[in-house]
Amino acid sequence: MDEHWDVIRNVCGFKNKEVAYAFFFGMATRESTFRAATETGSGAAHAFGPLQTAETAYANADPNYMPEHNVPEMYQYDFTDYNFYDVGISVHMGIRHFLHFARLAQEKYSGKDIARHGLMGFNTGWIDGADEAWIVRYADETAALGAWYLKNNHMSDDEFTWDTD
């Protein structure tokens, strides 16, 4: 977060790092309840880490995956077993993957809809096409979880909440 604060702030519009951390805490709670070694899915849906970063986020994973060249400010690691299963790299790539979709969303949306549709892209691979109910259950819930961390001052302890709380 600290190393790439400028691009994160510029793409997402976060006012300060604490808000950005809270957002990604909410994302980690929604995706894996903060379990660093959570692994799910296969192929394009094969994901690992607290943000559940999919293979599609990595360079050279599969030639059928859409390239993600629109976040040049952040290094894009190659898809290797080491890179995929390294939690630090996974988080880095998860943030980069989200920024990729948020930048695509910026072309069509503004305000909070950039984050909402960026999250939908992170989850589905597409910023459009999800019904409103799924956007509410996934994107809005992710933001609400992040707001919970911020509002309840749980930014550096081991307290976490569950989705739908």
> Can you name the residues that pair with 48 across neighbouring β-strands?
39, 53
Alpha helices (H) in the chain, listed in sequence order: 5-12, 17-32, 81-85, 87-106, 112-124, 132-135, 141-151
Query: What mean pLDDT comes out for the span 159-163?
Result: 61
Residue 11 identity (one-letter amino acid): V
3-state SS, residue 131 = coil
Structure tokens at 107: 């072309």
pLDDT digits (tens, 9 = 90+) for 23-66: 999 999 888 877 888 999 999 999 999 999 999 999 999 999 99
Taking the C-alpha atoms of residue 20 and residue 125, their distance in angstroms, rounded to an integer, is 22
| Model pTM above 0.85 | yes
Q: Which domains does the chain have, with CATH numbers?
A: 5-151 (1.10.530.60)
Dihedral angle, C-alpha 121, 112, 93, 152, nearest 10 °: -130
* Contacts for 39 with CB less than 8 Å, ≥ 6 apart: 46, 47, 48
What integer pLDDT is reported at residue 163 of this predicted model?
60
Q: What is the pLDDT of residues 114-157, one digit of tens each?
A: 999 999 999 999 999 999 999 999 999 999 999 998 999 888 76
pLDDT at residue 158, as a whole number: 64
Query: What region, left, alpha or beta, does residue 144 occupy, with left being phi > 0 and alpha being psi -120 to 50 degrees?
Result: alpha
Share of the chain residues as helix, strand and coil, in percent rounded to the nearest 5? 55, 5, 40
